[in-house]
Amino acid sequence: MLNEALFVGSLCYGVVSFFLLNKKGKRYDAVIIFLLSCFIAGYNAPFIEGKWPTVEILYSGLYKSLSQYIFQQILIK
Name the minimum Å distance from CB 38 to another protein. 11
Does 77 help bind another protein (rule: CB under 8 A)? yes
The yes or no reply on residue 13 touching another protein (CB under 8 A) is yes
By C-alpha distance, which of 13, 7, 12, 1 is closest to 47? 7
CA–CA dist 26, 33 (Å, integer): 11
CB of 75 to another protein, least distance (A): 5
* DSSP, residue by residue, 18-51: HHHHHHTT-HHHHHHHHHHHHHHHHHH-TTT-S-
Contacts with another protein by CB under 8 A lie at: 2, 6, 10, 13-14, 17, 20-21, 26, 28-29, 32-33, 36-37, 39-40, 43-44, 50, 52, 54-56, 58-60, 62-64, 66-68, 70-71, 74-75, 77
